[in-house]
Amino acid sequence: MNFDEYQQQTEGTFQAPPSLEARLSYLTWALGVSAKAGELTWRVTELINHEDGILDYQSSIQITETMGFLLWNMARLASEFGIELNDIAVSNLQRISNLNNP
């Protein structure tokens, strides 16, 4: 599966709350990104502080699930703005490559 297929499959998995105006539905996904990024930060902090940085099976599952929800929210936000997730990935790699090769 590639990012475009992933993004398309997120289309029917969740809808914004009906009380939220359609033009503001992107807030649902932006807040989801923020919440899951915070949860990921917390999980990594717990790993460092309580597991001496050693990733065990349970921590790996929790971090993977959190990153999955973060990716899902990113895909929904990208769709809301009419941006292909694949384009984001390619653009980001090009930008990183340019930073490393001045």
Neighbours of 102 (CB within 10 A): 4
Interval 9-37: pLDDT, tens: 988 887 766 676 766 778 888 999 999 99
CA distances from 84 to 36, 44, 47, 53, 99 (A): 21, 29, 33, 35, 23
Encoded tokens for 16: 């914004």
Read off the pTM.
0.79
Residue with more model confidence, 100 or 95: 95
Encoded tokens for 2: 């590639």
**What is the spatial distance between Cα 75 and Cα 48, in angstroms, rounded to a whole number?**
29
Place of tokens 């990183």: 96
